[in-house]
A and B are shown apart, each in its own frame.
Chain A
Amino acid sequence: MFRNNYDNDSVTFSPQGRIFQVEYAAEAVKQGSVVVGIASKTHAVLVAIKRNAEELSSYQKKLFPIDENVGIAIAGLTSDARVLSNFMKQQCLGHRLTYGRNMPVRSLVDMIGSKAQVNTQHYGKRPYGVGLLVAGVDDQGPHLFEFQPSGMTEEMVAFAIGARSQMARTYLEKNLDAFASCGRDELVQHGLKALKESLVQDRELTVENTSVGIVGVGKAADGSTKVEPFKVYDGQEVNAFIESVADDKEAEAEAAPAGGSGMEVDDE
């Protein structure tokens, strides 16, 4: 029987020049539910589909605030994301303490990039099994970054990672030119429409399974710029967002939790 001899560790190249462990880690990202991120001139938003392991369980969180000016969306192993998230929180806090300012998003992303890359070059280590979308604002405005387990990071205008994210990316590519001038709510609507593209048949966005995260730059009273802190919207808070992108015929149906069981209604 054929067996791959070159995927036992992340330090061995295959004869074709591939490192299988790193590629497998990238597969773990594709197992996670889809997350979408978009940046405009004023805002960066993250939207995500949450999954529950079984009907009786709660939904796994997908969006995490890192600091006032940064948040992440995760696809892949949540426990690995926890490590990266804690690291990012510490770096942001340390930067705020030593310099008295928000950490520049690019330097933060570069740090997790370097951290993840090390894991792909040492025997006995494994790559992180999680991909991230990092949304944040700094002195240079809003940013969206993609992070992959290989250590690759890249700034994006809009992107989607996770299961069936290709459909969401197709939507984003089609509407690419519109994003830069979008306001906050328009941006979320684009994000949710992209999410919808990735949904399987008979599934739809509900207040249970949808998360929205927004960060932006606003104007202070004296005309200077002010950070609109990263905030995650869950549950009933996302209702208005979902309704704003509901197909006309389904607009009324949103009130009842679509596709949910009676158990979920109980705790309301």
Chain B
Amino acid sequence: MDHRPQAWGRPRDDVYGAYDHSYLQSGGPKQMTQSPVVTGTSVIGIKFKDGVILAADNLASYGSLARFTDVKRLRVFLGTSVVGFGGDVSDMQYLDRHLNELAIDESYEGGGAQEEHGEKGKLNAANLHTYLHKLMYRRRNDFDPLWNQVLVAGLDAAGKPHLSSVDLRGTAFTSPSLATGFGAALAQPIMRKYAATEEDAARLTRDQAVKVVQECMKVLYYRDARSLDKYSIAVVTKDGVELKEDEQLEKQSWAFAEQIRGYGTQTV
């Protein structure tokens, strides 16, 4: 038996045969994400009078296969903001772990001084958006992008509702309503009917906004083949985050499908 320290803890060659190094090549070109693999579809968000609502379904697709049906794509940051992830799920998990780390560091900062000051002085949604923007743009410049488009919802430094977006290229912007992926084509026009401008959004009540979002999720389920009728919805206000992760689309009506040739499973 090989007693040299180099062999400690390794499979024994006399039992398993010599290790085939061709399986783990350190040489060759460095590989980076060329396309997403397991993906989440649209995330939608809309501002209202006292806060922001974010929603995304619970599906992670593997190509066109509905592979995982209980994936939570809305993540809470510091109890005050929510990040919604569209795009690659493994990159989402990386970002989620990274943001958790950031939240822990942020909570330690100041040696517990936050205790007396509550949420004051913590990173707010606007700060978080700036950070994610820098992170995504940095990765794009490394030619190793994080294949996501994310929405950030929460309040800004002045306590006003904040809703913003960053994508894998580091493009960042804000709007009274936002949607990623297919939602940009299907949900955004519906939300714009209710919140075209900041002023419109500031008149929306919470119940109205929730209804709009539910309506959008339904349309997305009708028309987006990579979507699911189980979804998560988060309402962010100054009182914190209310996150429901097991919502079901209600009052579906597929009557319209019969009129459309090529939609669904007709044989003629």
Q: Please determine whether A104 and B110 come into contact, CB atoms closer than 8 angstroms.
A: yes
Q: Please determine whether A139 and B123 come into contact, CB atoms closer than 8 angstroms.
A: no
Q: A99-B123, A100-B130 are in contact. Are A224 and B110 (CB under 8 A)?
A: no
Q: How many residues of A contact B (CB 8 A)?
A: 13
Q: How many residues of B contact A (CB 8 A)?
A: 16
The contact of A104 among B109, B126, B158, by CB within 8 Å, is: B109
Q: Please determine whether B134 and A97 come into contact, CB atoms closer than 8 angstroms.
A: yes
Q: Is A106 an interface residue (CB 8 A)?
A: yes
Question: 16 A-B contacts, Cβ less than 8 Å apart?
Answer: A98-B130, A99-B123, A99-B127, A99-B130, A99-B131, A100-B127, A101-B123, A107-B109, A107-B110, A139-B117, A139-B157, A140-B113, A140-B120, A222-B158, A224-B157, A224-B158
Q: Is B11 an interface residue (CB 8 A)?
A: no
Shortest Cβ distance from residue B233 to the other chain A in the assembled complex, whole angstroms: 27
Q: Please determine whether B123 and A106 come into contact, CB atoms closer than 8 angstroms.
A: no
Q: Is A138 an interface residue (CB 8 A)?
A: yes
Closest to B135 in A: A98
Scan B102-129; emit 1 where CB is below 8 A from any A CB, else 0. Answer: 0000000111010001001101001100
Question: Chain B residues near A222 (CB, 8 Å)?
Answer: 158
Scan A68-110; emit 1 where CB is below 8 A from any B CB, else 0. Answer: 0000000000000000000000000000011111001011000
Question: Chain A residues near B127 (CB, 8 Å)?
Answer: 99-101
Question: Chain A residues near B110 (CB, 8 Å)?
Answer: 104, 106-107, 140
The contact of A98 among B117, B134, B159, by CB within 8 Å, is: B134
Shortest Cβ distance from residue B210 to the other chain A in the assembled complex, whole angstroms: 28
Question: Chain A residues near B113 (CB, 8 Å)?
Answer: 106, 140
Given contacts A99-B130, A139-B157, 9 further A-B contacts (CB under 8 A): A97-B134, A99-B127, A104-B110, A104-B121, A107-B110, A140-B113, A140-B117, A140-B120, A224-B157
Give Cα distance in the complex from A99 to B157, angstroms: 12
Scan A135-160; emit 1 where CB is below 8 A from any B CB, else 0. Answer: 00011100000000000000000000
Q: A139-B120, A224-B158 are in contact. Are A98 and B131 (CB under 8 A)?
A: yes
Question: Chain B residues near A99 (CB, 8 Å)?
Answer: 123, 127, 130-131
Give Cα distance in the complex from A107 to B108, angstroms: 10
CB within 8 Å of B: which A118-174 residues: 138-140
CB within 8 Å of A: which B73-118 residues: 109-111, 113, 117
Question: Chain B residues near A138 (CB, 8 Å)?
Answer: 121
Closest to B111 in A: A106
The contact of A100 among B109, B117, B120, B126, by CB within 8 Å, is: B126
Give Cα distance in the complex from A140 to B121, angstroms: 6
